[in-house]
């Protein structure tokens, strides 16, 4: 079953801007570009974990989930197949993603998921600027927060079908459900957005509060919009800020996230997102640009071209 977020792909008209935004602001390393000119970014020794493909509009192109091995892929694929969703194996895609094997499907909300294992190493990580490093390991790349039109249906799919476990909930006007698949407090969270589907943010965790502060200085010096100021979350205890990327979604850049031990963890309900900070800009709320009206009609089969950026919340 799914054990971590291994990699993630976006499509964007502004993909080229990530060649500077990535290393200079986030401190990630730029890897060799993809065959379609995609900007491929490293956060650890894996060859690349964040891929920004050139595209006509902002789009979450795919999730890459680590399922451990061939039997994990078979088990996850079978569970998805049991709810009537076609899972496609693609050896050409595995070569492009630098994994041993990939099978992919599109979920009921239009998000494309790739089940894979064996992401290749790219040698020692060299950060784009001096930082202590990104926290990955058994917690995977980070976490993603999605906006979904049907919170209960999404919780059922990501929980019962994909096997994510509920970490806790926050209801403070917006209802958010947090899910884990490894010790990271959440790898996937879903927030209710009536009639809409999209992506709010990708969280990258760094090793120290100094890494967070240094990044925040650069963001402020360059006048890059913050979606939320520095703050600390109630549930995962992450001390973080949210910066607008060149591609219309946010990166939550934080440190100190809680780790879950399933033997002792109890699911809690919170009525606030943050114990301090995480304030919206004085100019008003930044609305995610990877956000589209949800069309419950069946999605057309996405373009299976390995290097392209199909699917996503495109409908
Ligand atoms: Fe987050």
Q: Which residue from 110, 139, 109 is spatially nearest to 49, judged by alpha carbons?
A: 139
Query: What's the structural domain count of the chain?
Result: 1
What is the dihedral angle through the alpha carbons of 152, 154, 155, 160, rounded to the nearest 10 degrees?
120
The answer to whether residue 309 is domain-embedded is: no
Residue 315 domain flag: no
> Which one has a higher pLDDT value, 295 or 278?
278
C-alpha dist (Å) from residue 266 to 10, 144, 169, 238, 261: 34, 22, 11, 18, 10
254 CA distance to ligand 1 middle (Å): 9
Mean pLDDT of 142-169: 98
> Do the domain assignments include residue 302?
no
Let me know if residue 304 belongs to a domain: no
Evaluate whether residue 117 is within a structural domain.
yes
* Distance in Å, CA 230 to ligand 1 centroid: 12
| Percentage, residues of the chain above pLDDT 70 | 94
Q: Token pair for residue 150? A: 């049907």
Confidence class for position 30, pLDDT limits 50, 70, 90: very high
Residue 185 CA to residue 170 CA, distance in Å, equals 14
Expressed in angstroms and rounded, the spacing between residue 204 Cα and the centre of ligand 1 is 9
pLDDT of residue 74: 98
Average pLDDT of the chain, as a whole number: 93
**Tokens describing residue 216:** 């925040």
**Does position 306 have pLDDT exceeding 80, yes or no?**
no
Pick the residue with more confidence: 301 or 138? 138
Domain range for 234: 4-293
CB-side exposure of 119: number of CA atoms within 13 Å?
Answer: 27
pLDDT at 305 over 60: no
The CA 241 to ligand 1 mean position distance, Å, reads: 9
Residue 105 resides in a domain: yes
Q: What is the pLDDT of residue 290?
A: 87
Higher pLDDT, 254 or 283: 254
199 and 192 Cβ atoms separated by less than 8 Å: no
- Above 70 in pLDDT, residue 300? no
CATH number of the domain encompassing residue 273: 3.10.180.10
The per-residue DSSP string of the chain comes to ---EEEEEEEEETTGGGHHHIIIIII--EE-PPPTT--EEEESSSBS-SEEEEE-SS-EEEEEEEE--SHHHHHHHHHHHHHTT---EE-HHHHHHHTSSEEEEEE-TTS-EEEEEE-PPB-SS---SSS-S-B--GGG-S-EEEEEES-HHHHHHIIIIIT-PEEEEEEESSSEEEEEESSSBS-SEEEEE-TTEEEEEEEEEEBS-HHHHHHHHHHHHHTTPPEEEEEEEETTT--EEEEEE-TTSSEEEEEE---B--TTT---EEES-SEEEE-PPPTT-PPPPSSEEE---SPPPPPP--TTS---SS--
Tell me, yes or no, whether 301 lies in a domain: no
Binning pLDDT at 50, 70 and 90, where does residue 282 land? confident
pLDDT of residue 289: 85
Read off the pLDDT of each residue in 267-274 and give the average, rounded to a whole number.
97
Which of 195-199, 249-253, 280-284 is least confident? 280-284
Q: What is the pLDDT of residue 299?
A: 53
Q: Give 171-185 pLDDT, tens digit per residue.
A: 998 999 999 999 999
Confidence of residue 15 (pLDDT cuts 50, 70, 90): very high
Q: Is the pLDDT of residue 32 over 50?
A: yes
- For the segment 249-268, the average pLDDT, to the nearest whole number, is 97
What average pLDDT score do residues 187-215 get?
Answer: 97
Say how many Å lie between the CA of residue 201 and the centre of ligand 1.
7
Q: What does each C-alpha distance from 310 to 49, 76, 196 come to in angstroms?
A: 18, 21, 19
Cβ–Cβ under 8 Å, residues 89 and 102: yes
pLDDT at 310 over 80: no
Q: Is the pLDDT of residue 16 over 70?
A: yes
Residue 46 pLDDT > 70:
yes
Tell how far the Cα of 35 is from the centroid of ligand 1, in angstroms.
Answer: 31
**Residue 171 included in any domain:** yes
C-alpha 89 – ligand 1 centre gap (Å): 31
Q: Cα of 188 to ligand 1 centre, how many Å?
A: 9
């Amino acid at each position: 079953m799914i054990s971590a977020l291994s990699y993630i792909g976006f499509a964007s008209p502004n993909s080229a801007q990530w060649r500077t935004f990535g290393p200079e602001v986030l401190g990630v390393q730029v890897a060799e570009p993809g065959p379609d000119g995609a900007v491929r970014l490293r956060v650890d020794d894996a060859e690349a974990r964040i891929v920004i493909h050139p595209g006509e509009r902002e789009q979450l192109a795919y999730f890459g989930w680590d399922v451990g091995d061939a039997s994990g892929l078979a088990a996850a694929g079978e569970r998805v197949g049991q709810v009537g969703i076609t899972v496609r194996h693609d050896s050409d895609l595995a070569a492009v993603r630098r994994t041993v094997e990939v099978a992919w499907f599109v979920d009921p909300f239009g998000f494309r998921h790739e089940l894979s294992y064996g992401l290749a190493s790219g040698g020692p990580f060299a950060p784009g600027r001096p930082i202590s490093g990104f926290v990955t390991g058994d917690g995977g790349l980070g976490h993603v927060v999605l906006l979904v039109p049907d919170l209960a249906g999404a919780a059922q799919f990501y929980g019962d079908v994909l096997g994510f476990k509920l970490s806790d909930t926050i209801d403070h006007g917006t209802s958010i459900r947090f899910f884990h698949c490894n010790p990271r407090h959440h790898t996937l969270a879903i927030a209710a957005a009536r009639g809409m589907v999209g992506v709010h943010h990708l969280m990258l965790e760094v090793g120290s509060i100094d890494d967070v502060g240094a990044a925040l200085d650069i963001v402020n010096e360059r006048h890059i919009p913050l979606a939320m100021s520095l703050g600390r979350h109630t549930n995962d205890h992450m001390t973080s800020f949210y910066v607008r990327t060149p591609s219309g979604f946010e990166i939550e850049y934080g440190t100190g996230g809680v780790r879950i031990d399933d033997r002792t963890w109890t699911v809690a309900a919170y009525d606030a997102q943050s114990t301090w900070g995480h304030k919206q800009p004085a100019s008003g709320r930044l609305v995610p640009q990877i956000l589209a009206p949800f069309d419950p009609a069946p999605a057309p089969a996405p373009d299976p071209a390995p290097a392209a950026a199909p699917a996503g919340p495109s409908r």
